[in-house]
Amino acid sequence: MKVLFVCLGNICRSPLAEAIFKAKAQKMGLSNTLFADSCGTANYHIGDSPDPRTFKNAQSNGVEIVHRGRQFSKRDLTDFDWIFAMDKGNLEIILSYTQSEAERSKVKLIRDFDPVKRGNVPDPYYGTEDDFQEVFQILDRTIDNLLVSLTK
Ligand code: 4NP
């Protein structure tokens, strides 16, 4: 199963989601069956490493993060089984590329799986270290729940 996490720049939220997902899949012994990647809807950070604050946050939470920025492409709608958008703006952008109900049904808002609160994963780019940690906590519990759904 192939899952894709999508945000705007692909340097803060989605590469962290990808890294958390991979770490959890590995702990569950599922790294050979669950493939994860991330990308951004914008082209600002193609080829870039994750934001240094994302790196620092991941490291402080014991998660290894290895990624280079890439932009979402229409092909992702056929290449991936599930596409999880970090917020409604990016969800709408991804949906605007879909051409069938089969494609549309793959695209979800990631916090639909948050056991605490629905909505957007807040963009931490103009925020503080605490905002990055809030993103980590949201993604950590949401991806736990997501993995339960995906492996049912
Ligand atoms: P991300 O955060 O979408 O979580 O990667 C952002 C990264 C970069 C920018 C905006 C949001 N930017 O405007 O460059």
Query: pLDDT at position 72, please?
Result: 98
For residue 90, the ligand 1 atom closest to its alpha carbon is: 3
For residue 123, which of 6, 23, 4 has the smallest C-alpha distance?
6
Crossing angle for the helix pair 13-27 and 129-150, to the nearest 10 degrees: 50
Query: pLDDT at position 47, please?
Result: 98
Q: Can you tell me whether residue 121 is helix, strand or coil?
A: coil
Instruction: Give tens-digit pLDDT for 5-46.
Output: 999 999 999 999 999 999 999 999 999 999 999 999 999 999
User: How many angstroms separate the CA atoms of 133 and 148, rounded?
Assistant: 23
Query: pLDDT at position 93, please?
Result: 98
Dist. CA 138 → ligand 1 center (Å): 17
Instruction: Give tens-digit pLDDT for 104-139.
Output: 999 999 999 999 999 999 999 999 999 999 999 999
Tokens coding 94: 């991804």
Query: pLDDT at position 75, please?
Result: 98
pTM of the model: 0.98
For residue 44, the ligand 1 atom closest to its alpha carbon is: 14
User: How many angstroms separate the CA atoms of 100 and 14, rounded?
Assistant: 25
Among the options 13, 37, 111, 114, which is catalytic?
13
Query: pLDDT at position 33, please?
Result: 96
Q: 105-139: string of b/e by CB count within 10 Å (b at 16+)? A: ebbbbbbebbeeeeebbebbbeeeeebbeebbebb
Is 123 one of the catalytic residues? yes
Residue from 5, 6, 8, 43 whose mutation best tests the ligand 1 pocket (most atoms within 8 A of CB): 8
2-150 has which CATH code?
Answer: 3.40.50.2300
Instruction: Give tens-digit pLDDT for 56-70.
Output: 999 999 999 999 999
Query: pLDDT at position 51, please?
Result: 98
Is 13 one of the catalytic residues? yes
Cα 149–142–133 angle (5° rounding)? 160
Average pLDDT, stretch 84-96?
98
Query: pLDDT at position 66, please?
Result: 96
CB 90 within 8 A of CB 6: yes
Q: Where are the chain's structural domains? A: 2-150
